[in-house]
Structure 1
Amino acid sequence: MKTHLMLRILLAFHLTGLTIMAGTTIIDFFTFKTFCRLIDHSDNKALNLLPLMSGYGSFVRAGAAILILTGAGMFLMMKGIWWDQLWFRIKIALVLLLVLNGMLVGNKQGTRLRSMTCEGLPDFIQRSVHIRANLDRFYITQLLLFFLIILVSAIKFEK
C-alpha cells in the first residue's frame, strides 16, 4: 500500500514538473510573439520583455529537474518494467528530442535574438527575420513534443 501511495505522490509531482515546463513554454511563446509584434511597430516597450523572456529558462529547468527526479523515482519503484513497453521507449525518445531542441535550437536562437536586440541595430527587423522564424518553429516543435509526450503517456499502448 505504501508503494502505491508513494507512486501516486511521485506521479503528482511528475505532472507538476510537466505543467511547469509546458506552461512556461506556452507563456514564453506568447511573450515572444508579443515582442515580435511590438518590435515590428518600432515600439520600445518590446525591450522590456527581454529580461522577462530570459527568466523563463529557470522555470523550465526547475520543471525539468522535478520531472527527472520523479521519473527516475517512479522508474526505480517499478523496477524498470516500463522499459520493456513500447510507449515508454517512445516517450523517452520524445523527451530527448524536447531537450535537444531546447538546448540546440531554442537556447542558441534566443541568445542570438537577445544579443542582436541589445546591439540596437537600425536594421534589426530585417536582420532578425531568420532568427524569429527559427524561434517560431522551435516553439511549435516544443509544444507539439509536449503534446505527443502527454498523448503517449496517457494511451500507454502496447506492441
Structure 2
Amino acid sequence: MEMSITFYDAALVGHIIGITLMAGAAFIDLAAFQIFWKVFLKDPAEGVRLEKYLNKLQKFMGIGMLVILISGILMMVKMHEVWGAQLWFRIKMGVLLLIIINGLGLRRMLGSRLKRTLAAYFTGVDIAEAMVKLKNRLMTVQTIQVLLFIIIYVLSIFKFN
C-alpha cells in the first residue's frame, strides 16, 4: 500500500502532538507537585484536594502515548526501511520504552501510594517519614521523565546515524 506524502505529514504532525502532550504532562506533573508539597505542609486538606486533580494529569500521558503509537505506526508503514536501521531510531525506541516504564509504571505506582498515604493521614497515622520518601521518589521519577523527553526531542531533531 502506497502512502502519500500528505498522509505521512499528517501522521508526523500527530506524532509531534502526541510527544508534546506527553512531555507537557510530564513537565506539568513535576512543576505542579512542587506546589502540592508546599500546599500540603500548610493545609493538608487542601493538599489532598490538589492531589486528586494532579493525578488526573496521568490521563493526558496515556492519550499522548496512544496518539504517538498510532501515528508512529502510520509513519513506519512508509519509512520503516529508512529509519528502522538507523541508530538514532533504535535508541529512540529504547528511550520510549523507558518513558513507558518510568511514567506509566513507576509514576502511576507512586501516585497510588501517595493516595493511600494521604488517606492514612486523616486517620491519625504519622505519615511524615513516608511523605519524605514519596516526595523524593516522585521527584526523581518526574525529573527522569522530563529528561527522557528531552532525549527524545534531541534524537528526533538530529537523527544521527
Shorter-chain TM-score tier? over 0.9
Within 5 Å, give how 1:61-140 maps onto structure 2: 61-120=62-121, 121-140=124-143
1:150 alignment partner in structure 2: 153
Consecutive unaligned residues of structure 1, counting only runs of 5 or more, are none
Q: Partners of 1:64 and 1:80 in 2: how far apart?
A: 23
RMSD: 1.7
Q: Partners of 1:69 and 1:103 in 2: how far apart?
A: 17
Q: Partners of 2:27 and 2:68 in 1: how far apart?
A: 18
Quick check: 1:30 aligned with 2:31? yes
Consecutive unaligned residues of structure 2, counting only runs of 5 or more, are none
Q: Assess if the C-alpha contact under 8 Å between 1:39 and 1:125 holds in 2.
A: no
Quick check: 1:141 aligned with 2:127? no
Q: Percent identity?
A: 27
Q: Partners of 2:103 and 2:52 in 1: how far apart?
A: 19
TM-score by length of 2: 0.91
TM-score by length of 1: 0.92
Deviation at 1:115, TM superposition (A): 1.0
Q: Partners of 2:104 and 2:25 in 1: how far apart?
A: 16
